[in-house]
Structure 1
Amino acid sequence: MIKKIAFHNTSLVQELFELQKASYLVEANLIGFFDIPPLKESLEGLNGCGETFLGYFEEEVLVGALAFTIEGEALTICRMVVHPNHFRKGIARKLLYALEEIQPEWLVLKVSTGKDNTPAKKLYQKNGFQFVQDMEVVPGLFISHFEKRR
Protein backbone atom coordinates (compact mmCIF):
# COMPACT_ATOMS: atom_id res chain seq x y z
CA MET A 1 0.00 0.00 0.00
CA ILE A 2 1.24 3.51 -0.85
CA LYS A 3 0.16 6.56 1.12
CA LYS A 4 1.44 10.00 2.09
CA ILE A 5 3.56 10.06 5.22
CA ALA A 6 2.12 12.30 7.91
CA PHE A 7 4.88 14.04 9.85
CA HIS A 8 2.73 14.38 12.96
CA ASN A 9 3.14 10.61 13.44
CA THR A 10 6.48 10.59 15.27
CA SER A 11 6.95 6.81 15.24
CA LEU A 12 6.43 6.74 11.47
CA VAL A 13 8.93 9.57 10.99
CA GLN A 14 11.41 7.58 13.08
CA GLU A 15 10.82 4.57 10.78
CA LEU A 16 11.41 6.81 7.76
CA PHE A 17 14.62 8.15 9.32
CA GLU A 18 15.96 4.63 9.89
CA LEU A 19 14.85 3.45 6.43
CA GLN A 20 16.62 6.39 4.83
CA LYS A 21 19.88 5.60 6.65
CA ALA A 22 19.80 1.92 5.62
CA SER A 23 19.04 2.73 1.99
CA TYR A 24 21.53 5.56 1.54
CA LEU A 25 24.29 3.53 3.16
CA VAL A 26 23.96 1.10 0.23
CA GLU A 27 24.29 4.00 -2.23
CA ALA A 28 27.25 5.39 -0.31
CA ASN A 29 29.02 2.05 -0.70
CA LEU A 30 28.18 1.93 -4.42
CA ILE A 31 29.50 5.41 -5.17
CA GLY A 32 32.31 5.45 -2.60
CA PHE A 33 31.07 8.64 -0.93
CA PHE A 34 29.73 8.64 2.62
CA ASP A 35 28.85 12.32 3.03
CA ILE A 36 25.50 11.94 1.28
CA PRO A 37 23.32 14.59 2.96
CA PRO A 38 20.54 12.19 4.10
CA LEU A 39 23.16 10.04 5.88
CA LYS A 40 24.22 13.08 7.90
CA GLU A 41 20.72 14.47 8.41
CA SER A 42 19.24 14.59 11.90
CA LEU A 43 15.70 13.54 12.73
CA GLU A 44 14.90 17.23 13.22
CA GLY A 45 16.35 17.99 9.79
CA LEU A 46 14.17 15.33 8.21
CA ASN A 47 11.12 16.75 10.00
CA GLY A 48 11.85 20.20 8.63
CA CYS A 49 12.91 19.30 5.10
CA GLY A 50 9.72 20.62 3.46
CA GLU A 51 9.39 17.67 1.09
CA THR A 52 6.26 15.60 0.51
CA PHE A 53 6.75 11.89 1.17
CA LEU A 54 4.98 8.85 -0.20
CA GLY A 55 5.52 5.66 1.77
CA TYR A 56 5.30 2.07 0.59
CA PHE A 57 4.00 -0.21 3.34
CA GLU A 58 4.00 -3.98 3.65
CA GLU A 59 1.80 -5.15 6.50
CA GLU A 60 1.92 -1.67 8.09
CA VAL A 61 5.74 -1.61 7.98
CA LEU A 62 7.39 1.18 5.99
CA VAL A 63 9.77 -0.46 3.49
CA GLY A 64 10.11 2.25 0.84
CA ALA A 65 9.61 5.98 0.37
CA LEU A 66 9.84 8.69 -2.23
CA ALA A 67 10.08 12.41 -1.46
CA PHE A 68 9.39 15.23 -3.87
CA THR A 69 9.03 18.95 -4.24
CA ILE A 70 6.98 20.94 -6.75
CA GLU A 71 8.10 24.09 -8.48
CA GLY A 72 5.67 25.26 -11.13
CA GLU A 73 5.06 22.33 -13.48
CA ALA A 74 8.25 20.54 -12.46
CA LEU A 75 8.36 17.79 -9.86
CA THR A 76 11.74 16.94 -8.40
CA ILE A 77 12.26 13.61 -6.71
CA CYS A 78 14.50 14.45 -3.78
CA ARG A 79 14.76 10.99 -2.22
CA MET A 80 14.03 7.43 -3.26
CA VAL A 81 14.67 4.85 -0.56
CA VAL A 82 13.92 1.17 -0.24
CA HIS A 83 15.03 -1.00 2.66
CA PRO A 84 17.86 -3.29 1.48
CA ASN A 85 15.85 -6.36 2.59
CA HIS A 86 13.22 -5.35 0.02
CA PHE A 87 15.39 -4.56 -3.00
CA ARG A 88 14.32 -5.96 -6.38
CA LYS A 89 10.62 -6.21 -5.50
CA GLY A 90 9.50 -3.34 -7.74
CA ILE A 91 8.86 -0.98 -4.81
CA ALA A 92 10.72 1.99 -6.32
CA ARG A 93 8.88 1.53 -9.64
CA LYS A 94 5.52 1.44 -7.82
CA LEU A 95 6.42 4.63 -5.97
CA LEU A 96 7.29 6.33 -9.28
CA TYR A 97 3.93 5.30 -10.77
CA ALA A 98 2.08 6.50 -7.68
CA LEU A 99 3.79 9.88 -7.86
CA GLU A 100 2.75 10.33 -11.47
CA GLU A 101 -0.84 9.39 -10.62
CA ILE A 102 -1.30 11.66 -7.60
CA GLN A 103 0.47 14.62 -9.24
CA PRO A 104 -0.89 14.48 -12.82
CA GLU A 105 -0.19 18.15 -13.61
CA TRP A 106 3.58 17.78 -13.98
CA LEU A 107 5.28 18.51 -17.28
CA VAL A 108 8.83 17.69 -16.16
CA LEU A 109 9.84 15.08 -13.62
CA LYS A 110 13.46 15.38 -12.42
CA VAL A 111 15.67 13.03 -10.44
CA SER A 112 19.37 12.67 -9.66
CA THR A 113 21.56 9.89 -8.36
CA GLY A 114 25.22 9.08 -7.93
CA LYS A 115 26.91 8.47 -11.28
CA ASP A 116 28.11 5.07 -10.05
CA ASN A 117 24.70 4.00 -8.72
CA THR A 118 23.95 1.71 -11.65
CA PRO A 119 20.79 0.12 -10.17
CA ALA A 120 19.14 3.54 -9.66
CA LYS A 121 20.18 4.77 -13.10
CA LYS A 122 18.70 1.64 -14.71
CA LEU A 123 15.47 2.09 -12.73
CA TYR A 124 15.00 5.64 -13.94
CA GLN A 125 15.88 4.85 -17.56
CA LYS A 126 13.53 1.83 -17.61
CA ASN A 127 10.77 4.15 -16.39
CA GLY A 128 11.08 6.72 -19.15
CA PHE A 129 13.66 9.11 -17.74
CA GLN A 130 16.28 10.49 -20.12
CA PHE A 131 19.85 11.18 -19.08
CA VAL A 132 20.56 14.93 -18.99
CA GLN A 133 24.10 15.27 -17.68
CA ASP A 134 26.70 14.26 -15.13
CA MET A 135 27.76 17.03 -12.80
CA GLU A 136 30.70 17.09 -10.39
CA VAL A 137 29.25 18.30 -7.07
CA VAL A 138 32.38 17.91 -4.97
CA PRO A 139 35.84 16.93 -6.19
CA GLY A 140 35.61 13.36 -7.50
CA LEU A 141 31.87 12.92 -6.94
CA PHE A 142 29.60 13.04 -9.97
CA ILE A 143 25.82 13.09 -9.89
CA SER A 144 23.76 11.94 -12.88
CA HIS A 145 20.68 14.02 -13.66
CA PHE A 146 17.62 12.62 -15.44
CA GLU A 147 14.34 14.09 -16.68
CA LYS A 148 11.04 12.74 -17.87
CA ARG A 149 8.84 15.03 -19.93
CA ARG A 150 5.22 14.76 -20.96
Structure 2
Amino acid sequence: MIRKIDIAASEWAKAVLHLQLRSYAVEARLIRFLDIPPLQDTVATLQQCGEQFFGYIEQGQLAGAISYERTEKTVHICRLMVDPDFFRQGIASALIEFVCRKERDAHEIIVMTGSDNIPALRLYERHGFCVVERMRMPEGISMTKLVKWLGRYEGEGK
Protein backbone atom coordinates (compact mmCIF):
# COMPACT_ATOMS: atom_id res chain seq x y z
CA MET A 1 0.00 0.00 0.00
CA ILE A 2 1.29 3.45 -0.94
CA ARG A 3 0.43 6.39 1.29
CA LYS A 4 1.43 10.02 1.71
CA ILE A 5 4.08 10.57 4.37
CA ASP A 6 3.98 13.61 6.61
CA ILE A 7 7.73 14.20 6.71
CA ALA A 8 7.21 16.97 9.30
CA ALA A 9 6.15 14.31 11.82
CA SER A 10 9.28 13.17 13.63
CA GLU A 11 8.24 9.49 13.65
CA TRP A 12 7.90 9.50 9.86
CA ALA A 13 11.08 11.50 9.35
CA LYS A 14 12.99 9.00 11.49
CA ALA A 15 11.51 6.05 9.57
CA VAL A 16 12.34 7.65 6.21
CA LEU A 17 15.89 8.48 7.34
CA HIS A 18 16.44 4.88 8.50
CA LEU A 19 15.16 3.60 5.13
CA GLN A 20 17.22 6.14 3.21
CA LEU A 21 20.46 5.25 4.98
CA ARG A 22 19.93 1.53 4.31
CA SER A 23 18.93 2.03 0.68
CA TYR A 24 21.50 4.61 -0.36
CA ALA A 25 24.32 2.67 1.29
CA VAL A 26 23.77 0.11 -1.48
CA GLU A 27 23.96 2.79 -4.19
CA ALA A 28 27.08 4.26 -2.58
CA ARG A 29 28.79 0.87 -2.90
CA LEU A 30 27.60 0.44 -6.51
CA ILE A 31 28.96 3.79 -7.63
CA ARG A 32 32.04 3.51 -5.43
CA PHE A 33 31.41 6.83 -3.69
CA LEU A 34 30.51 6.52 -0.03
CA ASP A 35 29.88 10.23 0.55
CA ILE A 36 26.68 10.63 -1.48
CA PRO A 37 24.36 13.39 -0.23
CA PRO A 38 21.48 11.11 0.88
CA LEU A 39 23.85 9.53 3.41
CA GLN A 40 24.49 12.97 4.92
CA ASP A 41 20.83 13.75 5.68
CA THR A 42 19.40 14.09 9.17
CA VAL A 43 15.83 14.12 10.45
CA ALA A 44 15.97 17.93 10.34
CA THR A 45 17.23 18.14 6.76
CA LEU A 46 14.54 15.73 5.60
CA GLN A 47 11.87 17.76 7.36
CA GLN A 48 13.10 20.95 5.69
CA CYS A 49 13.69 19.64 2.15
CA GLY A 50 10.31 20.73 0.73
CA GLU A 51 9.71 17.47 -1.12
CA GLN A 52 6.48 15.44 -1.20
CA PHE A 53 7.01 11.96 0.25
CA PHE A 54 5.05 8.78 -0.37
CA GLY A 55 5.78 5.47 1.31
CA TYR A 56 5.21 1.86 0.40
CA ILE A 57 4.04 -0.04 3.47
CA GLU A 58 4.66 -3.79 3.47
CA GLN A 59 4.20 -6.14 6.39
CA GLY A 60 3.49 -3.15 8.63
CA GLN A 61 6.75 -1.34 7.90
CA LEU A 62 8.10 1.30 5.55
CA ALA A 63 9.61 -0.85 2.80
CA GLY A 64 10.12 1.91 0.24
CA ALA A 65 9.59 5.59 -0.40
CA ILE A 66 9.72 8.16 -3.15
CA SER A 67 9.95 11.92 -2.92
CA TYR A 68 9.60 14.56 -5.56
CA GLU A 69 9.15 18.23 -6.29
CA ARG A 70 6.82 19.66 -8.89
CA THR A 71 7.45 22.93 -10.69
CA GLU A 72 4.75 23.84 -13.21
CA LYS A 73 4.85 20.95 -15.68
CA THR A 74 8.05 19.23 -14.50
CA VAL A 75 8.34 16.61 -11.78
CA HIS A 76 11.78 16.02 -10.29
CA ILE A 77 12.14 12.69 -8.49
CA CYS A 78 14.49 13.52 -5.64
CA ARG A 79 14.67 10.18 -3.83
CA LEU A 80 13.66 6.62 -4.60
CA MET A 81 14.55 4.12 -1.93
CA VAL A 82 13.74 0.54 -1.06
CA ASP A 83 14.89 -1.27 2.04
CA PRO A 84 17.41 -3.93 0.96
CA ASP A 85 15.27 -6.57 2.73
CA PHE A 86 12.55 -5.79 0.15
CA PHE A 87 14.66 -5.58 -3.03
CA ARG A 88 13.32 -7.23 -6.20
CA GLN A 89 9.69 -7.25 -5.06
CA GLY A 90 8.41 -4.55 -7.43
CA ILE A 91 8.32 -1.79 -4.81
CA ALA A 92 10.45 0.70 -6.75
CA SER A 93 8.35 0.06 -9.86
CA ALA A 94 5.12 0.58 -7.92
CA LEU A 95 6.42 3.89 -6.54
CA ILE A 96 7.50 5.15 -9.98
CA GLU A 97 4.15 4.15 -11.50
CA PHE A 98 2.34 5.86 -8.62
CA VAL A 99 4.09 9.19 -9.31
CA CYS A 100 3.50 8.86 -13.07
CA ARG A 101 -0.23 8.37 -12.46
CA LYS A 102 -0.50 11.04 -9.75
CA GLU A 103 1.31 13.66 -11.84
CA ARG A 104 -0.01 12.58 -15.24
CA ASP A 105 -0.72 16.18 -16.29
CA ALA A 106 3.00 17.02 -16.06
CA HIS A 107 5.02 17.26 -19.27
CA GLU A 108 8.03 15.39 -17.96
CA ILE A 109 9.51 13.52 -15.02
CA ILE A 110 13.24 13.94 -14.42
CA VAL A 111 15.54 11.84 -12.26
CA MET A 112 19.29 11.62 -11.66
CA THR A 113 21.23 8.56 -10.55
CA GLY A 114 24.82 7.43 -10.40
CA SER A 115 25.98 6.26 -13.83
CA ASP A 116 27.40 3.09 -12.28
CA ASN A 117 24.07 2.24 -10.64
CA ILE A 118 23.09 -0.18 -13.39
CA PRO A 119 20.04 -1.60 -11.54
CA ALA A 120 18.58 1.93 -11.18
CA LEU A 121 19.30 2.83 -14.81
CA ARG A 122 17.59 -0.36 -16.00
CA LEU A 123 14.62 0.27 -13.70
CA TYR A 124 14.04 3.77 -15.04
CA GLU A 125 14.50 2.67 -18.65
CA ARG A 126 11.91 -0.11 -18.13
CA HIS A 127 9.50 2.64 -17.10
CA GLY A 128 10.05 4.70 -20.23
CA PHE A 129 12.78 7.05 -19.02
CA CYS A 130 15.47 7.99 -21.55
CA VAL A 131 19.04 9.00 -20.81
CA VAL A 132 19.46 12.65 -21.79
CA GLU A 133 22.75 13.57 -20.14
CA ARG A 134 25.78 12.15 -18.39
CA MET A 135 27.90 14.46 -16.30
CA ARG A 136 31.03 14.25 -14.20
CA MET A 137 30.54 15.77 -10.76
CA PRO A 138 33.28 17.73 -8.95
CA GLU A 139 33.70 14.74 -6.60
CA GLY A 140 34.74 12.65 -9.61
CA ILE A 141 31.62 10.50 -9.87
CA SER A 142 29.51 10.25 -12.99
CA MET A 143 25.78 11.00 -12.83
CA THR A 144 23.10 10.22 -15.40
CA LYS A 145 20.01 12.33 -16.00
CA LEU A 146 16.93 10.54 -17.32
CA VAL A 147 13.63 11.98 -18.50
CA LYS A 148 10.22 10.49 -19.12
CA TRP A 149 7.95 12.56 -21.32
CA LEU A 150 4.29 12.13 -20.42
CA GLY A 151 1.15 11.96 -22.52
CA ARG A 152 0.83 14.20 -25.55
CA TYR A 153 4.13 15.83 -24.68
CA GLU A 154 6.13 12.68 -25.33
CA GLY A 155 9.13 13.45 -27.44
CA GLU A 156 9.16 17.19 -26.79
CA GLY A 157 12.61 18.38 -25.93
CA LYS A 158 14.35 15.31 -27.32
Q: TM-score, with normalisation over the residues of structure 1? A: 0.96
Q: Which runs of 4+ in 1 moved over 3 A?
A: none
Q: Distance in 1 between matches of 2:60 and 2:6?
A: 14
Alignment of 1:25 onto 2:28: no
Partner of 1:39: 39
The CA deviation string for residues 19-43 of structure 1, in whole angstroms up to 9 with x for no partner, is 0000000000000111111101111
Name the amino acid aligned to 1:30.
Answer: L
Q: Distance in 1 between matches of 2:141 and 2:37?
A: 13
Name the amino acid aligned to 1:94.
Answer: A
Name the amino acid aligned to 2:5.
Answer: I
After TM superposition, the structure 1 stretch with the greater mean CA deviation from structure 2, 78-87 or 54-63, is 54-63
Partner of 2:86: 86
Q: Distance in 2 between matches of 1:67 and 1:88?
A: 20
Q: Distance in 2 between matches of 1:54 and 1:5?
A: 5
Q: Distance in 2 between matches of 1:28 and 1:61?
A: 24
Structure 2: gaps spanning 5 or more residues = 151-158
Partner of 2:57: 57
Alignment of 1:2 onto 2:2: yes
Per the TM alignment, residue 145 of structure 1 is displaced from its structure 2 partner at its CA by 0.5
Structure 1: gaps spanning 5 or more residues = none
Partner of 1:12: 12
Size of the aligned set, in residue pairs, is 150
